[in-house]
């Protein structure tokens, strides 16, 4: 990335096995997924989560599938195909070095462009674990993009009584495939304002949009007393104001955090997909070759009906 919304192909020295530190692996990248976390970087914003303002080659991409070329860990062998995180956010390269603890082998029957979905699914599984028991409860997910629909699917399969999906993009034609019982085609603010009594209000709300204060504010307004709110994703700003009056009076719990135990939850995502084989085929809607990178990013960050996960393929 040479500037906001701008890419060019460059040649740099290839990483070699001698560059690996203990616990790291060298991967040939086969595919990469575009995630909402990448959007502010792509648009030119600086996040407190970035290690540097420098536009390093391969940036911004962290969801990757690759083949192990070399390893300084016994957890991976040369030739393994793995999915997970490019821990330097530089996955848009032919070869990258990443932490071995952030990737895991996947079912070889999956194409790389399909296997990429295991990374966001692992994040969602870990987050839902942190919510605790949701069985018999009304859960709402604000944002029904690729992450939001995965939350809807996982919550429904965790025996939520009802799943409400809220999005300004009209995806009502496909949300039933992801377990959404109540698709709401409204802004989160209008949805929250329309809730009139506690019987309408969710026990659990997942804010799966990120990047602004307003949706978290709407989640606090919409939640049932004693409810739980999960803020998912990476904030663009280090400080978010929150309505503590409502938080205290409604006795709400706010949960946040990034994904830990990455190899464990990547393995869990693989098992989840085996149990729900149609999930990936429904989730991955757009595939681009690496020479169409600019078009892939424009597509991923211009939400529209019929679009969910956008993937860039660099190998077979």
User: With 80 as the cut, is the pLDDT of residue 45 above it?
Assistant: no
Residue 40: what pLDDT? 86
User: With 90 as the cut, is the pLDDT of residue 87 above it?
Assistant: yes
Residue spans in the chain of domains classed CATH 3.90.180.10: 17-120+260-313
280-304 pLDDT tens trace: 999 999 999 999 999 999 999 998 8
Distances from the Cα of 310 to the Cα of 31, 46, 272, 300, angstroms: 11, 23, 21, 6
Residue 53: what pLDDT? 57
Residue 211: what pLDDT? 78
Predicted TM-score (pTM) of the model is: 0.95
In the predicted model, what is the mean pLDDT of residues 124-142?
A: 97
Q: From the CB of residue 159, how many other CB atoms can be counted at a distance below 10 Å? A: 11
Q: Which CATH topology does 123-255 take?
A: Rossmann fold (3.40.50)
Mean of pLDDT over the chain: 93
Residue 237: what pLDDT? 80
235-276 pLDDT tens trace: 878 889 999 999 999 999 999 999 999 999 999 999 999 999
Helix (H, G, I), strand (E, B) or coil at 80: coil
CATH number corresponding to 17-120+260-313: 3.90.180.10
Residue spans in the chain of domains classed CATH 3.40.50.720: 123-255
User: With 60 as the cut, is the pLDDT of residue 50 above it?
Assistant: no
C-beta separation of 17 from 70 below 8 A: yes
Taking the C-alpha atoms of residue 117 and residue 33, their distance in angstroms, rounded to an integer, is 8
Residue 199: what pLDDT? 76
User: Between the CA atoms of 129, 271, 174 and 135, what dihedral angle is there, to the nearest 10 degrees?
Assistant: -40
Taking the C-alpha atoms of residue 89 and residue 59, their distance in angstroms, rounded to an integer, is 6
Query: Could you tell me which of 4, 34, 36, 42 has the C-alpha nearest to residue 234?
Result: 36
Residue 223: what pLDDT? 97
Taking the C-alpha atoms of residue 11 and residue 305, their distance in angstroms, rounded to an integer, is 37
161-205 pLDDT tens trace: 999 999 999 988 899 999 999 999 999 999 999 998 777 899 999
């Amino acid at each position: 990335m040479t500037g906001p919304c701008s890419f060019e192909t460059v040649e740099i020295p290839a990483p070699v096995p001698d560059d690996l530190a203990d616990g790291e692996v060298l991967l040939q990248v086969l595919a990469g997924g575009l995630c909402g976390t990448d959007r502010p970087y792509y648009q030119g914003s600086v996040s407190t989560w970035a290690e540097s303002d420098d536009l390093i080659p391969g940036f911004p991409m962290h969801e990757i599938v690759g083949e192990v070329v070399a390893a300084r860990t016994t957890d991976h062998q040369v030739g393994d195909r793995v999915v997970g995180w490019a821990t330097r956010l530089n996955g848009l390269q032919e070869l990258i070095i990443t932490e071995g603890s952030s990737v895991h082998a996947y079912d070889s029957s999956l194409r790389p462009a399909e296997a990429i979905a295991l990374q966001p699914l692992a994040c969602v599984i870990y987050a839902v674990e942190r919510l605790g028991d949701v069985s018999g409860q009304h859960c709402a997910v604000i944002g029904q993009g690729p992450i939001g629909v995965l939350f809807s699917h996982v919550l429904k399969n965790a025996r939520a009584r009802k799943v409400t999906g809220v999005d300004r993009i009209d995806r009502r034609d496909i949300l039933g495939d992801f377990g959404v019982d109540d698709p709401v085609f409204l802004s989160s603010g209008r949805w929250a304002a329309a809730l009139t009594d506690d019987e309408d209000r969710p026990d659990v709300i997942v804010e799966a949009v990120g990047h602004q204060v307003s949706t978290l504010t709407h989640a606090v307004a919409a939640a049932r007393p004693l409810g739980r709110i999960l803020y998912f994703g990476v904030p663009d700003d280090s400080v978010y104001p929150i309505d503590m009056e409502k938080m205290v009076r409604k006795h709400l719990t706010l949960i946040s955090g990034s994904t830990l135990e990455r190899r464990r939850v990547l393995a869990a995502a693989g098992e989840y997909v085996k149990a729900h084989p149609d999930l990936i085929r429904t989730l991955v809607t757009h595939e681009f070759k690496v020479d169409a990178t600019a078009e892939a990013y424009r597509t991923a960050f211009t939400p529209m009906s019929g679009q969910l996960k956008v993937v860039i393929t660099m190998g077979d």
